[in-house]
């Protein structure tokens, strides 16, 4: 564990609070920073309304609210969002000097534009709500599209897990560059895949994907593609949600003679039927970070799943924000995809 250096006076002005979605990640982050996690009372009323209360005085403090917008157990994505929103509201009313919302996984991020008339831009609605409740800054990791930060009128630190994933892939490649190929599962990831391929020194192959407009679970893929025969494919995506994208791509790669398939993504959402699909798919390894809780995925996928901790990156970022340092330097200025 890296202990980040914040002087004691700054510790006293910094308050880390977790929503109920992923307390384990908030705890790991606060442990890394050497700051105690604040005391927050949280409950759900019988009618499913949420309640929170800070157990400590936060007057004059910079409050960091850590909440992934994920579904966990019987709680929905919308519960996670609502809880974050009322935590911001409570912090504002309790005279916090600054409020930073740390959203390791930002739900609704894929609804980032109007694809048809009369649709919402839900990513903008989520971010604007946090701002109008009182958020001064947002921190998020590998958002589906970086442009989404434009909907927040203020500082938005967009972090990336690329260094973590890159290191995990380097361990596998170990200089055998001619045995590997990086695969982008769709056009949206083409640039990211090229960056990984350049860093690893391996070739890159781009796949096409089209979704049915009426039923987004229906994905069309080419039957076979060139350039993967006998190779280990490293497939990189931002999110594994239902796993339709990666499983359909893996099937094409296998039919095309790929030797092994390793998939990586920052966010392992694993909505139904992802886990069953991934168990049955010709995928050898799945690498994700812990931006959302992964207990169920770990149980089902076992050794097929490697989890990289995002906590040191969050801790370093929050330390830089607190000390008025540089967040970009953590990523060598490469957190702008
Ligand atoms: C799409 O453009 C995204 O980058 C992901 O590929 C996609 O959202 C993953 O969703 P699913 O796992 O449900 O296919």
Distance CA 301, CA 61 (A): 42
Contact residues of ligand 1, CB 6 A cut-off: 110, 185-186, 188, 237-245
- For position 74, what pLDDT does the model report? 93
Is residue 191 part of the annotated active site? The answer reads no
Distance CA 194, CA 198 (A): 6
CA of 271 to the centre of ligand 1 (A): 11
Distance CA 265, CA 242 (A): 13
What is the percent of the chain where pLDDT is above 70?
Answer: 98
Alpha helices in the chain (DSSP H): 8-13, 23-33, 77-93, 122-133, 162-173, 190-200, 244-255, 274-280, 295-301, 311-322
Residue located nearest, by CA, to atom 2 of ligand 1: 188
To test the ligand 1 pocket, which listed residue (113, 212, 240, 248) has its Cβ within 8 A of the most ligand atoms?
240
Out of 3.40.50.2020, 3.30.70.20, 3.30.300.30, 3.30.200.20, the CATH code matching 8-161+311-331 is 3.40.50.2020
Architecture of the domain defined by 162-308: 3-Layer(aba) Sandwich (3.40)
Q: How confident is the model at residue 335 (pLDDT cuts 50, 70, 90)?
A: confident
From the alpha carbon of 188, which atom of ligand 1 is closest? 2
Digit-coded pLDDT (tens) for 203-233:
999 999 998 777 877 899 999 999 999 999 9
pLDDT at 292 over 80: yes
Which one from 61, 179, 209, 329 is the annotated catalytic residue? 209
pLDDT at 78 over 90: yes
- For position 333, what pLDDT does the model report? 82
CA of 239 to the centre of ligand 1 (A): 6
Residue located nearest, by CA, to atom 3 of ligand 1: 239
CA of 81 to the centre of ligand 1 (A): 21
From the alpha carbon of 274, which atom of ligand 1 is closest? 12
Q: Pick from 174, 117, 109, 106: which is nearest to 140 by CA?
A: 106
Across 152-161, 209-218, 240-249, least confident range: 209-218
Task: Supply the DSSP string of 77-136, one letter for each residue.
Answer: HHHHHHHHHHHHHHHHHTT-SEEEEEESS-TTTT--S-SSTT---HHHHHHHHHHHHT--
From the alpha carbon of 240, which atom of ligand 1 is closest? 12
Q: Where in the chain is the domain with CATH 3.40.50.2020?
A: 8-161+311-331, 162-308
Digit-coded pLDDT (tens) for 85-132:
999 999 999 999 999 999 999 999 999 999 999 999 999 999 999 999
CA of 245 to the centre of ligand 1 (A): 6
């Amino acid at each position: 564990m890296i202990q980040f250096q914040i002087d004691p006076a700054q510790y006293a002005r910094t308050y880390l609070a977790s929503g109920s979605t992923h307390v384990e990640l908030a705890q790991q982050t606060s442990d890394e920073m050497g700051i105690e996690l604040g005391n927050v009372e949280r409950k759900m009323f019988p009618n499913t309304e949420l309640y929170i209360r800070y157990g400590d005085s936060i007057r004059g403090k910079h409050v960091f609210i850590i909440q992934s917008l994920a579904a966990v157990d019987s709680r929905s994505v919308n519960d996670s969002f609502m809880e974050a929103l009322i935590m911001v509201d409570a912090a504002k009313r309790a005279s916090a000097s600054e409020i930073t919302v740390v959203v390791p996984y930002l739900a609704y991020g894929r609804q980032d534009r109007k694809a048809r008339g009369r649709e919402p831009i839900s990513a903008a609605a989520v971010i604007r709500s946090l701002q109008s409740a009182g958020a001064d800054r947002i921190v998020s990791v590998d958002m589906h599209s970086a442009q989404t930060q434009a909907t927040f009128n203020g500082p938005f630190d967009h972090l990336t897990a690329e260094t973590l994933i890159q290191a995990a892939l380097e361990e596998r490649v170990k200089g055998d560059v001619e045995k590997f190929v990086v695969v982008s599962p769709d056009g949206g990831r083409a640039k990211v895949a090229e960056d990984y391929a350049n860093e690893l020194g391996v070739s890159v192959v781009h796949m096409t994907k089209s979704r049915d407009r009426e039923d987004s679970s229906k994905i069309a893929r080419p039957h076979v593609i060139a350039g993967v025969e006998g190779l280990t494919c490293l497939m990189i995506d931002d999110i594994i949600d239902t796993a339709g994208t990666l499983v359909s791509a893996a099937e094409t790669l296998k039919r095309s003679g790929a030797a092994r398939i390793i998939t990586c993504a920052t966010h392992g959402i694993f909505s139904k039927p992802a886990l069953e699909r991934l168990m049955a798919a010709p995928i050898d390894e799945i690498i994700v970070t812990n931006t959302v809780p992964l207990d169920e995925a770990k149980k089902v996928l076992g050794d097929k799943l490697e989890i990289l901790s995002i906590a040191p990156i969050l801790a370093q970022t929050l330390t830089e924000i607190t000390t008025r340092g540089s967040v970009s330097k953590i990523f060598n200025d490469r957190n702008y995809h």
